[in-house]
């Protein structure tokens, strides 16, 4: 349908609208109507804005559907969309239940407030140009938990949240996609926190690498029971001293010798690991736990205590022998570590980080100090064959600009996106610019106020995340806490 055809259809449609107040109407677009599915809300709003008077408000209700790409069967999921259209403003909300147009009319009668409907459906009230707050979704892990902000997977779907309610990302992003995403397609850059428990082994993540996925961690907290001096560790790359020894002994062939011995050390550990995991599986059965059920760190600790002392010692010996081939990188709060593809890495216990990554789900497990629940084997040989044979060097943040103490540093320059670390001294402000792309924002330290067009539209505190639409203009972040504000910003690259 084009604008000419719309004008034809409009006359008939307008006659079917349900009256609310003297200057407002509710229009229900019936199923099967050409305006139901194929025309974006933004286009529909633009066309309708040309047809209404300055004083009028038109509510438009339609039933739409999207394909749930994150589920294995990829079902089509129906949802409803309510738009509030005035000549100079549009807003909207979406929800997954089906409401009757008469029921919506009843709810709107007497107040004609979109807020009432959003509240009734516990849906986020969206304006195309206003930032949306990300609601953290906690996914339990054997080593602690992940806090998801933008993840959309079978394991969990994250949501936006406001005073009215919460709306899952795929539905909310489908309401005003041109304004929110411009030319980008969902999914969004993956933003999450990794929160390993402070216990050694239990809180150590897989030693892994990725073929496609680029990752960056920004340290937000170091558990002092695990690291009393406040300096934690991330394991990554080869061990520098051992690498030198191999170079001295094997010259140019050092990597094949290093790799062979590293592989043998992992195999020795894996043989014992399997034996221990079998014993632990028997214990699991006796306690009524599922074999692949994720247990809380406390339950795991209790389970591990059933391993006899001599086997525990053997486990430590073989694990340390294999880990001796892996380097480690000291980290403090605010530090950045990033991993290009084929770079071996493992976040360690008690080191909490914010992570940005490209939204691919793939990994190769080099080794792990616990049973792997998501796959039945490690990928050691394949991983070693492709890995970067080098000592890990953390990236040096690149100063982009600074003025009056306000500083913007690029911490990641990945193929799909950039990430920046922003420092804003108390009382100062920084303009948030996506240059035509959406932005993700998350607080690390301090307290900030988000302002769009001079109006407050939310706060940014420690681990509070936001999505700023691609069209948002004149967006500022003002530092209003007692200490300096540090936050992170990720912006996709224009493709
Ligand atoms: Fe990783």
H or E element, residue 355? strand 351-357
The residue whose two tokens read 């993540």 is 205
Any idea which fold 398-492 has?
Jelly Rolls (2.60.120)
> Strand 364-367 relative to strand 232-238: parallel, antiparallel, unpaired?
unpaired
pLDDT above 90 coverage of the chain, percent: 83
Domain boundaries, the chain: 3-120, 197-386, 398-492
How far, in Å, is the centroid of ligand 1 from the Cα of 123?
Answer: 33
* Residue 168 binned pLDDT confidence (cut-offs 50, 70, 90): very high
**DSSP 8-state assignment for residue 64:** E
Higher-pLDDT residue of 477 and 216 is 477
CA distance 21 to 460: 38
Nearest-angstrom CA–CA distance, 80 and 212: 36
- Do the beta carbons of residue 202 and residue 355 sit within 8 Å? no
Q: What are φ and ψ of residue 46, in 5° steps?
A: -60, -45
Mean pLDDT of 113-136: 97
The answer to whether domain 197-386 and domain 398-492 are alike in fold is yes
Mean of pLDDT values over 312-341: 94
> How far is the centre of ligand 1, averaged over its atoms, from the C-alpha of 361 (Å)?
10
Residues with CB under 5 A from ligand 1 (ion): 215
Residue 360 has pLDDT above 80, yes or no: no
* Lookup: tokens for 401: 């600009």
Q: Given pLDDT bands bounded at 50, 70 and 90, which one contains residue 99?
A: very high
Question: What number is the average pLDDT over the span 87-110?
Answer: 95
User: Does the pTM exceed 0.75?
Assistant: yes
- Residue 428 confidence (pLDDT) above 70: yes
Question: Ligand 1 centroid to 210 CA: how many Å?
Answer: 7
All residues at 6 or more sequence positions from 106 whose CB lies less than 8 Å from its CB, including other chains: none
For residue 321, how far is its CA from the centre of ligand 1 (angstroms)? 22
Between CA 263 and CA 427 the distance in angstroms is 54
Which residues make Cβ contacts (< 8 Å) with residue 133, sequence separation at least 6?
A: 160, 161, 162, 458, 464, 465, 466
Cβ–Cβ < 8 Å for 432, 426: no
DSSP 3-state of 220: strand
Count other Cβ atoms within 10 Å, centred on residue 373: 14
Q: What's the CA-to-centroid distance between 338 and ligand 1, angstroms?
A: 10
The pLDDT of residue 197 is above 90: yes
pLDDT at 472: 97
Burial of 156 (0-12, 13-18, 19+ CB in 10 A): middle
Tokens of 39: 């025309």
Q: What average pLDDT does the chain have? A: 94
* CATH code for residues 197-386: 2.60.120
pLDDT at 396 over 90: no
């Amino acid at each position: 349908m084009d604008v000419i055809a719309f004008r034809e259809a409009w006359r008939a449609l307008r006659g079917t609208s349900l009256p609310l107040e003297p200057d407002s109407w509710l229009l229900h677009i019936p199923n099967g109507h050409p305006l139901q599915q194929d025309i974006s809300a933004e286009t529909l709003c633009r066309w309708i804005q040309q047809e209404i008077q300055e004083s009028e408000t038109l509510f438009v209700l339609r039933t739409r559907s999207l394909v749930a790409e994150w589920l294995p069967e990829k079902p089509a999921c129906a949802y409803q969309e309510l738009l509030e259209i005035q000549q100079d403003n549009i807003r909207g909300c979406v929800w997954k239940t089906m409401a009757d147009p008469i029921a919506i009319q009843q709810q709107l009668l007497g107040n004609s407030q979109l807020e009432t409907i959003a509240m009734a459906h516990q849906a986020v009230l969206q304006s195309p140009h206003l930032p949306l707050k990300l609601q953290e979704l906690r996914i339990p892990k054997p080593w602690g938990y992940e806090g998801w902000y933008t993840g959309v997977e079978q394991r969990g779907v994250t949501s936006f949240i406001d005073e009215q309610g919460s709306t899952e990302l795929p539905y909310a992003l489908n309401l005003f996609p041109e304004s929110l995403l411009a030319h980008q397609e969902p999914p969004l850059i993956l933003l999450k926190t990794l929160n390993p428990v402070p216990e050694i082994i239990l809180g150590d993540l897989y030693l892994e690498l990725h073929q496609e996925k680029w990752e960056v961690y920004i340290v937000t907290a170091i558990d002092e029971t695990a690291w009393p001096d406040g300096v934690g560790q991330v394991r990554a790359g080869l061990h520098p001293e051992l690498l030198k020894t191999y170079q001295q002994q094997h010259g140019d062939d050092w990597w094949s010798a290093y790799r062979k011995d590293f592989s043998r050390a992992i195999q020795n550990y894996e043989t014992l690991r399997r034996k221990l995991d079998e014993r632990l599986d028997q214990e699991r059965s006796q306690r009524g736990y599922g074999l692949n059920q994720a247990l809380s760190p406390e339950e795991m600790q209790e389970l591990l205590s059933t391993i006899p002392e001599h086997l525990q010692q053997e486990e430590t010996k073989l694990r340390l022998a294999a880990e001796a081939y892996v380097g480690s990188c000291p980290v403090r709060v605010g530090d950045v570590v990033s991993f290009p593809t084929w770079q071996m890495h493992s976040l360690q216990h008690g080191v909490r980080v914010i992570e940005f990554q490209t939204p691919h789900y793939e990994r190769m497990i080099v080794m792990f100090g616990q049973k792997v629940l998501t796959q039945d084997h490690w990928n050691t040989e394949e991983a070693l064959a492709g890995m970067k044979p080098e000592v890990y060097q953390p990236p040096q943040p690149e100063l982009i600009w600074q003025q009056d103490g306000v500083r913007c540093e690029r911490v990641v320059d990945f193929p799909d996106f950039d990430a920046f670390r922003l420092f804003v001294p108390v009382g100062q402000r920084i303009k948030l610019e996506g240059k035509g792309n959406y932005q993700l924002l998350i607080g690390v330290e301090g307290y900030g106020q988000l302002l769009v067009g001079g109006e407050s539209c939310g706060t940014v505190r420690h681990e509070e995340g936001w999505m700023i639409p691609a069209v948002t203009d004149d967006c500022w972040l003002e530092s209003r806490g007692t200490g300096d504000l540090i936050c992170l910003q990720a912006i996709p690259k224009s493709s």
